Structure 1
């Protein structure tokens, strides 16, 4: 079973169908498939192998204990990270209290040494992520090895905190992308931020200790424009050429997707950057065919390796891509 952003069910369904996974719509933001594709679906927030599916009443609280007992019988062995979620839709979100009650009922019946409390350690600990999905009329329990999980957040909803001084919500997209990478921009590394203004991504990179070359004809927020580790180049991202290769190329431009892909491919082809984090805007209806072209441009023409392409929780009509060169 897969979760996605509301309104993107048909795109996720199409991806799974193209992969021969025999998908079926379950309801708003939920799609199931018979198999798990070898390539993670772009529009999936999370995916779990369903072990138990039980009907539920409108009010789940009185049934939580009985449902928990039935769920215990099918829990996987070993160390577990146990979470609950509801579909990210108006109808699903109204069931949040029921999901919390069921989670607590299951937790109360498990030995403490079966549960890994530090979710961020799940992959290195070899734990299994167990998700309890409370949806209208049904409760599902599923699992996925943490090392294979698309997200370690319940239902794939990786909420990031927006700082009070953040100039835009764009910073949360970068934060979420970096959470899912095994490494991130660090102290002393050089990052180029294409289309930087007003400075959401630049701000977060500087906070990590990086030096940032912010490329944008528009102005940055004042505290960034005068920051000692920020160099503002006021020209088009398409015209800019770095003086020497940099560690990270970051890009969140509201521009035509194929032109942005060609620009990112140029950086890869010329070995101008080692790591890539970028957003590709998708205002069109036929998103999957365009993403195939973007993937081809970045990998075959640009030489970027280890490409990931995901619609993250903080993405809207867009996807986030990450990649690297020469590793």
Structure 2
């Protein structure tokens, strides 16, 4: 399947394959005139004020080239980048749609960006993408898709992710009980801060202990709430207190620092539970995973946002389908 070319000045969004209709719907609701370009790629006329939950990354299009194209070279890309009124420093990245056909183009995309890097002044480039926001940098990204190459840019502080294409791959530890730990690591990676040593975290629906394990590794104290059993090594850990009861029945004895929740439960009921914690001032920071229904995903997310902000008083709410999320989204928020 060939990819349609986006127009310069418009926005290119990439998402998890199969979720293009949900991203399209989000952008349509925001009056951003979306257009499906190909698998895992959607165009819009502008970036909406509310970051799309189903987008992994978005960028303003500078130029596009058909593939194969004799005009697509590192020299041509360097001229395009140099012609833009872009503030230094720059972070150069390459990505492909997260699809079988897109992934085959990754070596070509990486090689082009490396050649482009060698042609630009070193003083304009920031090698550490993790510092891009604090440095006021821009992300310059080359996306290679079947039949198409797109060069785009976005301010780092406005980017949905600092990882190329929003694909933040986390390493699964050998002793991790499930992939759930990678979801937590990716969520925390996107925050400007994370649980510190000695901070108190509540992990609702903790068993078998994937999230609790990663929080303990950061030095936190964890109240793990779940009727089921934890892994024996976690249950015996001096900084873990296991309360074997329902997350819906539990109330902390005193306010805690962080609330974590990754329960396979009805999403609106989970949202109402998280809102209760915010409304009663039981916690300062929230990281939670919300499972999505087979249909009507966007209407459900509208209701989840309303419950958390209007009923729960949570501020700074983000709702994102992260790389390690499947049919789910990750929400983060704070009370301070």
TM-score exceeds 0.5: yes
For 2:42 and 2:80, the matched residues in 1 are separated by 22
Paired position in structure 2 for 1:273: 283
Contact 1:99 1:133 in 2 (8 A): yes
For 1:69 and 1:302, the matched residues in 2 are separated by 49
For 2:278 and 2:191, the matched residues in 1 are separated by 19
Which of 56, 61, 76 lines up with 1:45 in the alignment?
A: 56
Residues 277-303 of structure 1 deviation map (CA, whole Å, 9 limit, x = unaligned): 000000321100000111111111111
For 1:241 and 1:97, the matched residues in 2 are separated by 51
With over 3 angstroms needed to count, the CA separation of the structure-2 counterparts of 1:74 and 1:90, relative to structure 1, is farther
Paired position in structure 2 for 1:24: 35
Note if 1:243 corresponds to 2:253: yes
Note if 1:111 corresponds to 2:152: no
Note if 1:13 corresponds to 2:35: no
Note if 1:306 corresponds to 2:316: yes
Note if 1:297 corresponds to 2:271: no
Q: Scaled by the length of structure 1, what TM-score is found? A: 0.96
Contact 2:87 2:137 in 1 (8 A): no
What is the SS of the residue equivalent to 2:245? coil
- Residue 32 of structure 1 and its aligned partner are, at CA, apart by 0.6
Residues 206-256 of structure 1 deviation map (CA, whole Å, 9 limit, x = unaligned): 111100000001111111010000000011111111111100010000000
- Residue 67 of structure 1 and its aligned partner are, at CA, apart by 4.2
For 2:268 and 2:87, the matched residues in 1 are separated by 46
For 1:284 and 1:4, the matched residues in 2 are separated by 17
Structure-to-structure mapping, 1:171-182, within 5 angstroms: 171-182=181-192
For 2:326 and 2:65, the matched residues in 1 are separated by 32
For 1:63 and 1:308, the matched residues in 2 are separated by 37
What is the SS of the residue equivalent to 2:152? strand
Note if 1:161 corresponds to 2:182: no
Note if 1:207 corresponds to 2:207: no
For 2:75 and 2:289, the matched residues in 1 are separated by 45
Which of 105, 108, 113 lines up with 1:95 in the alignment?
A: 105
What is the SS of the residue equivalent to 2:113? helix
- Residue 73 of structure 1 and its aligned partner are, at CA, apart by 4.6
What is the SS of the residue equivalent to 2:93? strand
What is the SS of the residue equivalent to 1:177? helix
Residues 92-149 of structure 1 deviation map (CA, whole Å, 9 limit, x = unaligned): 0010111011111211111111110111110000011111101111111110111111
Paired position in structure 2 for 1:2: 13
List gaps (5 residues or longer) in structure 1: none
- Residue 72 of structure 1 and its aligned partner are, at CA, apart by 3.8
For 2:83 and 2:37, the matched residues in 1 are separated by 22
Give 4+ residue runs of structure 1 displaced > 4 Å after superposition: none
Which of 233, 237, 240 lines up with 1:227 in the alignment?
A: 237
Contact 2:60 2:154 in 1 (8 A): yes
Equivalenced residue count is 324
CA RMSD of aligned residues (A): 1.4
- Residue 71 of structure 1 and its aligned partner are, at CA, apart by 3.6
Q: Scaled by the length of structure 2, what TM-score is found? A: 0.94
Contact 2:74 2:113 in 1 (8 A): no
Contact 1:72 1:106 in 2 (8 A): no
Contact 1:52 1:74 in 2 (8 A): no
Residues 132-189 of structure 1 deviation map (CA, whole Å, 9 limit, x = unaligned): 1011111111101111111000000011111001111101111111111111111110
List gaps (5 residues or longer) in structure 2: 1-11
Structure-to-structure mapping, 1:307-326, within 5 angstroms: 307-325=317-335
Contact 1:51 1:74 in 2 (8 A): no
For 1:302 and 1:73, the matched residues in 2 are separated by 47
What is the SS of the residue equivalent to 1:48? strand
Which of 188, 196, 200 lines up with 2:206 in the alignment?
A: 196
